[in-house]
Amino acid sequence: MKIGVCVKVAPDTDTRIKISGDGAGIEESGIKWIVSPYDSFGIEEAVQTQEAQGGEVILFSAGPKDWQTQLRAGGLAVGAERAVIVDDPALAGTDPLGIARVLAAGIASEGCELVFTGKQAIDDDNVQVPAMVAELLGWPHVSFVTDFSTDGSTFTATRNVGGGTQEVVTGSLPVVITAERGLNTPRYAKLPAIMKAKRKKVDVKSLGDLDLSADDITPAVQLTNFSLPPERPAGRKLEGDVDTMVQELVRLLREEAKVI
Amino acid sequence: MSSIAFDADLQDIFFTVFEQLDADGRLGEIARFADFDKETYQATVEEAARIATEVLNPINGPGDRQGCKVDDDGNVTTPEGYAEAWRTFSEGGWIGMNADPEVGGVGLPNTIAMICTELFSSAATAFSMYPGLTAGAARLVHKFAPEAWQLPVATKMFTGEWGGTMCLTEAGAGTAVGDNRTRATPTDEPGVYLLEGEKIFISGGDADFYDNVVHMVLARTPDAPSGSRGISIFLVPKFEFDDDMNLGERNGAKVVGLEHKMGINGSATCVLALGADKPCKGWLLGEEGQGLPIMFHLMNEARIGVGVQGQSVAAAAYTYALKYAKDRVQGASVENFKNPDAPRVAIIEHPDVRRMLMTMKVLVETMRALLYRVALYEDLSHSDDLEESKRKKLANRVDLLVPIAKAHCTDLGFDVCVTGVQVLGGYGYINEYPLEQLVRDAKIMSIYEGTNGVQAMDLLGRKLRMKGGALFMEWLGDSQKLVQKTSGDFPAEAEAIGKALGHVGQTAMHLGALGQKGKLADAMLQATPFQAMMGHVVLALEALDQARVAKAKIEAGEDSAYLHGKLLNLTFFVKNLLPEAIATGKAIQSGDTSCLDERLFA
Ligand SMILES: Cc1cc2nc3c(=O)[nH]c(=O)nc-3n(C[C@H](O)[C@H](O)[C@H](O)COP(=O)(O)OP(=O)(O)OC[C@H]3O[C@@H](n4cnc5c(N)ncnc54)[C@H](O)[C@@H]3O)c2cc1C
């Protein structure tokens, strides 16, 4: 079975983000790039599935070919077999639907039967691409999955639906699964595997290689302006006797925080 | 739970190894390392940093408080989490990272392995001693064990199925290893001896996360000459085994006690009884009488390794202290000291705190540069791809710098941890924060693997005189070349360092002259001050070299606060720390011998 994993490379979680000069993006120099952590859960699940069922794990990325550094360290060194990066100038301004079209085309061209990915990327937090990929492939899609198993033709996936309730979904392959924290614990790369990852294949493709053109990924959405969230105001200490403090607290909760 | 998150300073690590030392370029010329490149080195170090942060650091504080236990059968229990960490370590190939693939290793250059070791030790010194000693013992097995065992036993060890120890010390034989008393009596089986005696202070003498442990034991055969020449080295397993590595009977090497100590409490420091309640078999490595020469195969590696420990705890102390100082709000800025309503500031605003942090920073970063350089030269000096003369020169430099790498980096490493406590104030002293443990863990490093006093005597009494003084003269010459090369960019600093080099030369001549007059005690009295003096100049040279690289990058348009910090390092070192070296040189040359006066301590 060919198992695909859609992987995005994103700034490390503790990066201090700076807005770029034109306000339409972020300052990219000096950032440490990593495989988006939810995608790492996807990679781990794919590798575990491959270990149980056989087959091959292929990583798919729509982004600059330089991502191969992170794909090797965070994917090929922990059990994925090869990677496909679609790097095309037209990708620069596209939107989630454009990215999904590219990934879906890549997945279809490889004939995958099962696709994992993170529930969201940690940079844009859009939570859109996986569902779109599934739709474009005409596959079902189970999101926020915390437990997964398959026998090679059917699958069972558990997802959190909030409030402590879990939903168990069963179905048959193919399917797109998005990983929630708790699905697994990504393994550490073993030294020999880090060395081997260097020689694993990373195909860099253009849109044309997938029979797509820039027109196919014309964005419907454009990002025009970024701003940082306002700084958190300093804490406030209420003064006076208990009655005054309680009254003040209730007033603040009602009028400022608007929670009661 | 430590209250400040552990962090690896990958930016400085990568700057030092790739930008300053061009290690990937230089190692790339060596056939043995042709399979690697910068990207694999970087991925390796990043994975090591992840393991250090996520697996090792969380067990460091609890392991310190819990310590180790031993039962009546001599089985040691290590702190919680150690077994799992060992598993991650073994499975990942980290114990044998720079070992030969034929014994389960990965064959990484020492330079890169050292960086990983720095990260592991920085996160959890006590834990990292187990893999460190196992790898050291495995290297001896690989080279010197009975032939049928060389590959399989070393493989067991490098892959973490078995552990290893180094057993030199006895109650009466610490620094004076030649005074070893453990007896080894030959049996009818060739190469097999029965050992009797007691080894003390044996790190990792047993553990609960491997199947067997292999001790490398120094002992004396019946008719051996006295002193070092009479010492042999034996492989002494906890469980005997056959040629297929199946475990057999329990051997008579048994942990009979653990020391209660100041730090590295997660590392079991064992009393190991040999042949006390049952016969203890030992298999001779090499030939009789070769104990110390064989052990010396590991000496450079082990001493550099302890130097790295010193630097690693300092690095941890610095990153913790820096983070804390940015967060901790206390007092107003000195400009506002008379205004009670002035805004409170983070303590990093206070000049005295900045001075402490800067001292920590510059020492941590220059020690890092020195250690990586020594490791790189070690790699290059063992490579047939380099001309013989170049290799010899590199090996000479390693030999000269090893005592400094060990002694200076562990002395300063401890000092930096102490300064770290001071930055945190009261919070540095309590065990809710990781600083006090670092101080306790750091102290042993100036003691084991040859006390720092012994290192200083090795520098002054041996290394300076080796090959007619060639090692020292080559170092002086190359250092002066760096000074000249940088005098355009950093005229004042280069000149100051050049003068300091002159002082080191003069001081060495002064001490050499004492030696020639037969005043050995007068000369050796100054061994430690001389080591500290030369050590500081060695570090100043690293600050100069790093500033050179940083300046070139800045001029090429890559300006950053980080690179600017390297220029500040140089100024700070030259203005604040280098004068200590000059003053020490003057003190040495004053020729004072009051401590040798017989009436003193009478
Ligand atoms: C936690 C811990 C772990 C250890 N792990 C190991 C281990 O795994 N394996 C092992 O074999 N040993 C180990 N040791 C032992 C360690 O290497 C010795 O403690 C060390 O070699 C010093 O020996 P000593 O303690 O007997 O001190 P001594 O030799 O008595 O030295 C005391 C002082 O005298 C000085 N001194 C001694 N001789 C001279 C001299 N000739 N000239 C000038 N000064 C001198 C020393 O520098 C020192 O300051 C460990 C020790 C500890 C505490």
Q: What is the CATH number of the domain that holds B154?
A: 2.40.110.20
B257 and B127 in one domain?
Answer: yes
B165 and B80 in one domain?
Answer: yes
B274 and B355 in one domain?
Answer: no
Residue A205 lies in a domain: yes
Mean pLDDT of the residues in chain B: 96
Question: DSSP secondary-structure letter at A31?
Answer: P
A183 and A145 in one domain?
Answer: yes
Residue A57 lies in a domain: yes
Reply yes or no on whether the pLDDT at B501 is more than 50.
yes
Residues A231, A31: Cα–Cα separation, whole Å? 22
Q: Which of B431, B449, B467 is the last residue of a domain?
A: B449
DSSP bridge pairs for B194: B185, B281
Residues A169, B388: Cα–Cα separation, whole Å? 69
Residue B2 lies in a domain: no
CB proximity list for B140: less than 8 A, separation 6 or greater: B216, B233, B285, B294, B295, B297, B298
Closest atom, ligand 1, to C-alpha of B199 = 11
A71 touches chain B (CB under 8 A): no
Residues 170-199 of A with CB under 8 A from B: 188-192, 194-195, 197-198
Q: Give the number of other Cβ atoms within 10 Å of residue B41's Cβ.
A: 23
B318 and B291 in one domain?
Answer: no
More confident residue, A196 or A25: A196
Give me the mean pLDDT over the A5-11 stretch.
96
Residues B511, B514: Cα–Cα separation, whole Å? 5
CB proximity list for B449: less than 8 A, separation 6 or greater: B302, B303, B305, B306, B406
A77 touches chain B (CB under 8 A): yes
Amino acid identity of B416?
V
A22 and A148 in one domain?
Answer: yes
How many structural domains comprise chain B?
Answer: 3
Active site residue B449: yes
Question: Do A41 and A181 form a contact (C-beta atoms < 8 A)?
Answer: yes
Question: Do B119 and B125 form a contact (C-beta atoms < 8 A)?
Answer: no
For residue B105, what is the nearest residue in chain A, using CA coordinates? Answer: A192
Whole-number Å distance, alpha carbon A113 to ligand 1 midpoint, is 64
Give me the mean pLDDT over the B256-278 stretch.
97
A147 and A252 in one domain?
Answer: no
B360 and B350 in one domain?
Answer: yes
Which of B35, B43, B55 minimises the CB distance to A73? Answer: B43
Amino acid identity of B233?
I
For B196-220, the pLDDT digits (tens) are 999 999 999 999 999 999 999 999 9
List B196, B288, B349, B449, catalytic entry: B449
Residue B423 lies in a domain: yes
Residue A227 lies in a domain: no
For B383-433, the pLDDT digits (tens) are 888 899 999 999 999 999 999 999 999 999 999 999 999 999 999 999 999
B525 and B435 in one domain?
Answer: no
Residue A225 lies in a domain: no
Residue A104 lies in a domain: yes
A101 and A11 in one domain?
Answer: yes
What pLDDT does residue B1 have?
Answer: 37
B516 and B506 in one domain?
Answer: yes
Q: How confident is the model at residue A162 (pLDDT cuts 50, 70, 90)?
A: confident
Q: Which of B449, B474, B493 is the last residue of a domain?
A: B449
What pLDDT does residue B444 have?
Answer: 98
B266 and B139 in one domain?
Answer: yes
The Cα of B129 is separated from the nearest Cα of chain A by a number of Å equal to 20
Residue B197 lies in a domain: yes
A246 and A197 in one domain?
Answer: no
Which of B10, B46, B108 minimises the CB distance to A73? Answer: B46
Choose, out of A40, A187, A188, A198, the residue to mutate when testing the contact with B (most B CBs < 10 Å): A188
What pLDDT does residue B156 have?
Answer: 98
For residue A198, what is the nearest residue in chain B, using CA coordinates? Answer: B40
Residue B324 lies in a domain: yes
For residue A76, what is the nearest residue in chain B, using CA coordinates? Answer: B43
What pLDDT does residue A161 have?
Answer: 87
B408 and B322 in one domain?
Answer: yes
B370 and B501 in one domain?
Answer: no
A88 and A9 in one domain?
Answer: yes
Q: What is the number of helices (H) and of strands (E) in chain A?
A: 6, 11
A251 touches chain B (CB under 8 A): no
How many structural domains comprise chain A?
Answer: 2
Domain interval for residue B420: 298-449
Closest atom, ligand 1, to C-alpha of B168 = 11
A146 and A77 in one domain?
Answer: yes
For B38-88, the pLDDT digits (tens) are 999 999 999 999 999 999 999 999 999 999 999 999 999 999 999 999 999
Whole-number Å distance, alpha carbon B131 to ligand 1 midpoint, is 22
Residue B220 backbone phi and psi in degrees, to 5: -115, 130
A69 touches chain B (CB under 8 A): yes
A136 and A178 in one domain?
Answer: yes
B270: three-class secondary structure by DSSP: strand
Length of chain B equals 602
Residue A226 lies in a domain: no
Question: Do A38 and A122 form a contact (C-beta atoms < 8 A)?
Answer: yes
Residue B218 lies in a domain: yes
Q: Please give the structure tokens belonging to residue B4.
A: 């400040």
The full DSSP string for B102-159 is GGT-----HHHHHHHHHHHHHH-HHHHHHHHHHHHHHHHHHHHS-HHHHHHHHHHHHT
Reply yes or no on whether the pLDDT at B319 is more than 60.
yes
Domain interval for residue A99: 2-217
Contacts 24+ apart (CB under 8 A), B426-431: B427/B324, B427/B328, B428/B321, B431/B61, B431/B65
A212 and A237 in one domain?
Answer: no
Provide the terminal-to-terminal Cα distance of chain A, rounded to the nearest Å.
54
Q: Which of B275, B296, B317 is the last residue of a domain?
A: B296
A145 and A20 in one domain?
Answer: yes
Mutate to test the pocket of ligand 1, among B448, B452, B524, B528 (most ligand atoms within 8 A of CB): B448
Residue B75 lies in a domain: yes
Measured from CB, residues less than 6 Å from any atom of ligand 1 are B 166-169, 174-175, 201-203, 261, 264, 269, 444, 447-448, 451, 453-454
Q: How confident is the model at residue A13 (pLDDT cuts 50, 70, 90)?
A: confident
Closest CA to A181 of A97, A251, A118, A96: A118
Residue with the smallest CA separation from ligand 1 atom 38 is B175
Whole-number Å distance, alpha carbon A202 to ligand 1 midpoint, is 54
CATH number at residue A18: 3.40.50.620
B353 and B280 in one domain?
Answer: no
Residue A199 lies in a domain: yes
Residue A103 lies in a domain: yes
Q: Using CB atoms within 10 A of its CB, is residue A166 exposed (0-12), middle (13-18) or buried (19+)? A: exposed
Q: Please give the structure tokens belonging to residue B228.
A: 């070092």
Least confident of A22-36, B358-372, B406-420, B496-510: A22-36
Question: Do B403 and B463 form a contact (C-beta atoms < 8 A)?
Answer: yes
Residue with the smallest CA separation from ligand 1 atom 27 is B174
Residue B1 lies in a domain: no
A6 and A33 in one domain?
Answer: yes
With CB atoms and an 8 Å threshold, state whether A198 touches B39. Answer: yes
B105 and B63 in one domain?
Answer: yes
Is the N-terminal amide bond of A174 cis, ω within 30° of 0?
yes
Q: What is the pTM of this model?
A: 0.94
What pLDDT does residue B178 have?
Answer: 92
What pLDDT does residue A32 have?
Answer: 87
Q: How confident is the model at residue A29 (pLDDT cuts 50, 70, 90)?
A: confident
Residue in this structure with the two tokens 């301590």, named with its chain if needed: B601
CB proximity list for B12: less than 8 A, separation 6 or greater: B365, B368, B562
Residue B21 lies in a domain: no
CB proximity list for B476: less than 8 A, separation 6 or greater: B501, B504, B505
Per CB-CB distance under 8 Å, the chain A contacts of B39 are 69, 72, 198
For residue A195, what is the nearest residue in chain B, using CA coordinates? Answer: B40
Per CB-CB distance under 8 Å, the chain B contacts of A33 are none
CB proximity list for B97: less than 8 A, separation 6 or greater: A191, B44, B105, B106, B108, B112, B113, B116
